[in-house]
Amino acid sequence: VVERFTPAELAAIDAGLRERARLGLVATARARPDARAEEERGLVVHAAAPVVDAAGNLVAVLEGGVLLNGNLDFVDTLNAIVYREGSLPEGSEGTATLFVDDVRIATNVRLFEGARALGTRASDEVRTHVLDHGRTWLETAFVVDDWYVSAYEPVMDSRGERVGMLYVGFLEAPFRAAKRMALLVVGALALLVSGAGALLTLYWARGIFRPIERMHATIGRIDAGDERARVGDVASRDELGRLATAFDHLLDEQAARRAELQALNASLDRKVAERTADLAAANEELRAAQRRLVMSEKLAAIGELTAGVAHEISNPTAVIQGNLDLLREELGPAAQPVANEIRLIHEQVGRIRLIVTKLLQFARPGEFAGYVEDVDVNAALADCLVLTRQHLARAEVRVVQRFGASGRVQINLQELQQVLINLIVNAVQAMPAGGTLTLETVDRDPVHDARGVRITVRDTGGGIRAEDLARIFDPFFTTKKRQGTGLGLSISHTLVERYGGRIEVDSTPGEGAAFTVSLLAEPVYRKDPAPPPGGREDGTGRTEAT
């Protein structure tokens, strides 16, 4: 058995054994910290046998042992047995070590200038794995100053205690180099094979597509007016070659039929021209009269409509605006006392025109609908920031952009921008003393919701009162007193709802408001008119327009 002897036990056997066992500890990278300067314990191969007399009675015990500290023959013999000559690649070398605890007491691992690494210690990771937990180590390990492919086995004494370790291993570096070389060779071969395959594929593809290219060129020449253009003979005799031949045959038949039709048309035209000369002249006179009549009716209808619109809307507004301009010119500086009133009249005339436009759009939204296109909501929102930058600059509003949406939606771009600009302007007006405008886009969760995008416009203004939330989308409802028509949000709701979307409002008085526009990736057009857009409040300060 192997036993670990204390310095006192060694000295009791022979004073020289203690000195032979003593080793100075060498500072070793990655080893567990140890304040000792020397290792004085000894690892001994210990044997005992009974001595009996002729009658079989025990009269003595014969003990013997071999001190393994510094026993280089032991590790050299072990290394020669494990790593026979030629078993390792060039540049690698096998090593063997015997430890008492984690201290090398016999090893052929070398330090600088060929000195054996006696007194160096195993890494803390290996010590924990083998000595503390009693497990075998079978992987790479840091040995003194390099990495080795290693095996560590705990050494047990007669009492079953772990008193040391036995190690064998070999340098990993040559194997890493061999691995890199193998990978380089495999990579080079792969590139070579890929390149050759690409060339063969290109050559094969050119052979396949050459008849198609010639047919395409022939079609181009025919479109340019060369009716004699043909594909001609192709080297390929496969399906594409037969297709090219059939294509030429089809062109020949088409040319023959075209010639027959041209001859028939020429004969028919000549006969019709001879027999219907008088009828053609009469028809021409009739068509001329019809054209004059239709034009006259169109002009009359347009004139009546134009007169009605000009009389009912344009004329009163123009008269007011014209008299207002004349009043300014006539009074000149004398108009200063009523300058504010004149300005208010001018603003209200513009407001009348805006109200008329919005009323038409609200009453007949279908007439204002544009074409649907594939829209990137992030780009659309960025364009809206450019269009509203003057409002943002005057109000000293800081803009935070969180564009996280990756999907696109089918919608009319101008209508979407109209909705977003209206929401941005409303948010800016809600922060007269400045604040933060947050613009956020996210993809809708396709698992729990229809595929699409959500756009949120959030301000840090005074928020919306609870009693106003239920009416926020009602036509003509406004909290801006002298500003606005009360149609902006109502029209926005109508535009979004037209494509199957919705607008939600989340607001707490004093904490700002957030308008969220939910759009579908593919619009769902509703045949029935939407319910009154006044929305419904869910009791949490959140209103949804459906």
Domains of the chain and any CATH numbers: 2-171 (3.30.450.20), 172-256 (no CATH), 276-361 (no CATH), 364-545 (3.30.565.10)
Q: Please list, in sequence order, all residues whose beta carbon lies within 8 angstroms of the beta carbon of residue 430, skipping any fewer than 6 positions away.
A: 459, 461, 462, 512, 513
User: Which one-letter amino acid corresponds to residue 344?
Assistant: L
Tell me the backbone φ, ψ of residue 149, rounded to 5 degrees.
-80, 115
* pLDDT tens digit sequence for 312-356: 665 677 678 788 888 888 888 887 888 888 877 877 776 666 555
Site of tokens 């809708």: 444
- The pLDDT mean for the chain works out to 80
Integer Cα distance of 453 and 518 in angstroms: 6
CB contact set of 30 (below 8 Å; sequence gap of 6+): 123, 124, 125, 142
Query: 400 with 362: CB under 8 angstroms?
Result: no
Q: How many Å apart are CA 124 and CA 130, to the nearest integer?
A: 10
Amino acid occupying residue 350: G
3 state DSSP class of 168? strand
C-alpha to C-alpha distance for 198 and 222, rounded to whole angstroms: 34
CB pairs under 8 A, 24+ apart, for 525-533?
A: 525/498, 525/499, 525/500, 526/497, 526/498, 526/500, 530/493, 530/494, 530/497, 532/474, 533/473, 533/474, 533/475, 533/490, 533/493, 533/494, 533/497
User: What are the pLDDT digits (tens) for 135-170?
Assistant: 999 998 888 888 888 999 999 998 999 999 999 998
pLDDT at 438: 95
DSSP 404: -
Given a cut of 70, whether residue 261 has pLDDT beyond it is yes
Helix 377-387 to helix 413-429 angle (10° resolution) is 50
Q: Look at residue 42 and give its three-state secondary structure.
A: strand
Q: Note the pTM of the prediction, 2 decimals.
A: 0.37
Question: Degrees (nearest 5) of the Cα angle 438, 443, 449?
Answer: 120
Q: Minimal CA–CA distance to 42: which of 72, 68, 24, 78?
A: 68
Higher pLDDT, residue 232 or 502: 502
**Band (375; pLDDT cuts 50, 70, 90):** very high
| List of residues 6+ apart from 345 with CB closer than 8 A | 320, 324
Taking alpha carbons only, the member of 399, 407, 515, 513 closest to residue 455 is 515
Helix spans in 224-314 (H) = 239-275, 277-309
Q: What is the dihedral of CA 133, 134, 138, 142, to 10 degrees?
A: 60
Given the DSSP bridges, would you call strands 397-403 and 58-67 parallel, antiparallel or unpaired? unpaired
Region of 91 on the Ramachandran plot (φ > 0 left; ψ -120 to 50 alpha; else beta)? left
What does the pLDDT look like over 394-437, one tens digit per residue? Answer: 888 999 999 999 989 999 888 898 899 999 999 999 898 889 99
Q: Hey, how many other C-beta atoms are within 10 angstroms of the C-beta on 279?
A: 10
Q: In this structure, is the dihedral angle defined by the CA atoms of residues 118, 123, 124 and 126, taken in order, positive or negative?
A: negative
Q: What is the pLDDT of residue 336?
A: 84
Q: In sequence order, what DSSP letters do the residues of 484-514 get, joined into one string?
A: --S-HHHHHHHHHHHTT-EEEEEE-TTS-EE
- The CA distance from 295 to 524, in Å, is 41
